[in-house]
Amino acid sequence: MRPFFIPRNARELAFVVLCSGGEDTEFAAQRLEQAAADQVVSPADRRLATELIYGVIRRAATLDTILKSYVRRGQQQVEPELWMILRLGAYQLVMLDGIPPHAAVHETVELSRRVGRGGWPGFVNGTLRGVSQLVTPDRTSQAAADSVPLANGQFGKLSKIVFPDPQTQPADYFAAAYSFPDWLAKRWAKTFPAEELFRLGTWFNLPAHLSLRINRLRTTRDEYLALLADRGTAARPGTVSESIQLDGSVRVDDLPHFAEGWVTIQDESSMSAALLMNPQPSERLLDLCAAPGGKTTHLAELQGDQGKIVAVDVQAERLAVVSANAARLQLKSIRTHLMSKDEMDAPTGHFDGVLVDVPCSNTGVLGKRPEARWRITPYDLSELPKLQRKLLNLALDRVRPGGRVVYSTCSIETVENRQVVEQCLVNRPNVTLAEERHHVPGQPADGGYQALLRVAPAEKP
């Protein structure tokens, strides 16, 4: 890339973010904010850049499969920046209906001319013209080797076969057409029928929807919905009593009274953890893996800010985020505790309730964190349960007789969920599994799991 490249439009902005390590969505969001702040970017360019960035991250394998049918040399023989330009062009041609093909090709060629070498424009032009001939305006509701899944649940018909046959090779089709690693596609194909597998792929490739949790100590859901309506923001009540679903994307800074702590961004499946705990005023609670504090602050709100909550994490900078969120929400009942990774200095004493939201594979939230599908490995699914069992046992050791523990993940893997709970209960006859909640991705929110464990009261003398 040319030094001191300053993006002038949406495509250049997307290119800069993606080529600066922005294929991690959290980092991509930060880089987009920074790049947009450095230049005057129109709202339309910002929206298109956001769509291109997150779309390319989500559908990288789909785009690569299509491009490889038009690029004679292997992907490893193409400069990474040039391949990213091809992905950006292919995404516009295959996934976006609102951009005329000639405009997508021309603008992408111009991007390659500005940032690349002498031979790049011709290579990009030839490749993308081939891709443009692959795409047809026809739509279908059925998966096929010559159809590509689109964000609206339909399939775009292609002029030739590009993908494996979904009838005979559902895992291979899922990996290539929906953009997932082969090993995960094969794993899920053993668990889910093809129809459900493809439904999951559609859900995880949708733009992440935004869910809000109102702070019941500051406002009511009806009052906040009225504020959103006054600002022209489309929203509706969620399925949880304090949740609101936004029908489109909204910048956090544009949410009314966000800085004053009236609302928090949180998915409904995540809200379920604190609701399952059902904290009562004056109780002493422990949040063992607290950062960034969404569940911690929810517990405090449910207590009316009248209890005592110890929020624990192993990274000081992440604990600072918990404190900042508690301060924004004007909550006084939360204190933080920095714990070493060997847990030797974990908080002592018996708590009325312990929430342990463990590190996990994130397989229930691959829509919000699409890059996680490429980061997780089969090795992780063998190693993570060891850490999860360790943390759950730590939680159970710190709850009083008659108290309870909520075990929570954002995973849909049984090995991280029910199996962890069962293995921890083997040598604890005084602990029972009282309730489980399995959150299926897209029904209606993120995927995940929670288990409520109850400890038997102390025997009377």
Which element (helix H / strand E) includes 264? strand 263-265
Which of 218, 238, 223 is CA-nearest to residue 305? Answer: 218
Q: Which two tokens stand for residue 185?
A: 């596609």
Chain centroid to Cα 359, Å, comes to 14
Which of 414, 313, 318, 291 is CA-nearest to residue 363? Answer: 414
Q: Of these residues, 289, 360, 410, 424, which one is catalytic?
A: 410
Is 424 among the residues known to form the active site? no
Residue identified by tokens 């609670």 is 285
SS3 state of residue 189: helix
Residue 238: CB atoms within 10 A of its CB come to 21
Whether residue 256 has a cis bond before it, omega within 30° of 0: no
Bridge-based pairing of strands 308-313 and 135-140 is unpaired
Angle at 443 between CA 280 and CA 415, to 5 degrees: 75
Laid out side by side, the sheet with 399-409 consists of 334-338, 308-313, 284-287, 351-357, 399-409, 448-455, 431-439
Which of 286, 297, 336, 332 is CA-nearest to residue 314? Answer: 336
Angle at 424 between CA 419 and CA 429, to 5 degrees: 120
Catalytic residues: 410
